[in-house]
Amino acid sequence: MSDNNILIVAKFVARPGKADALSTVLSACIVPSRAEAGNVHYELYRSVEDASVFLFHETWKNTAAIETHAAQPHFRQLLADSDALLQQPPEIHQIQR
């Protein structure tokens, strides 16, 4: 990929009865992620059709910013804390114009 902005859409699906706990874990990553130098946009959404489904919509300045984000303690904590709450592994898609 080039060094243009990169959009990430990440889908997290909670195990039955774990959606509120997953929401708490995912929400904890928002503020520190927005503070990262390479972040342009970082939002978390919850499906109105299925409350166990969450989507992160993120925009990063470039690939290096995504790599830096993946190494941050708050992101690594999100992965560790969400693992037992997930129905399936997260689906992560990088998209570029």
- With b for 16 or more beta-carbon neighbours within 10 A and e for fewer, the 56-81 pattern comes to bebbbbebebbebbeeeeebeebeeb
Q: How confident is the model at residue 3, as a pLDDT?
A: 57
pLDDT bracket for residue 4 (50, 70, 90):
confident
pLDDT digits (tens, 9 = 90+) for 36-80: 999 999 999 999 999 999 999 999 999 999 999 999 999 999 999
- pLDDT for 1 equals 44
- State the CATH architecture for 6-95: 2-Layer Sandwich (3.30)
Comparing C-alpha atoms, which of 69, 60, 68, 70 is closest to residue 3?
60
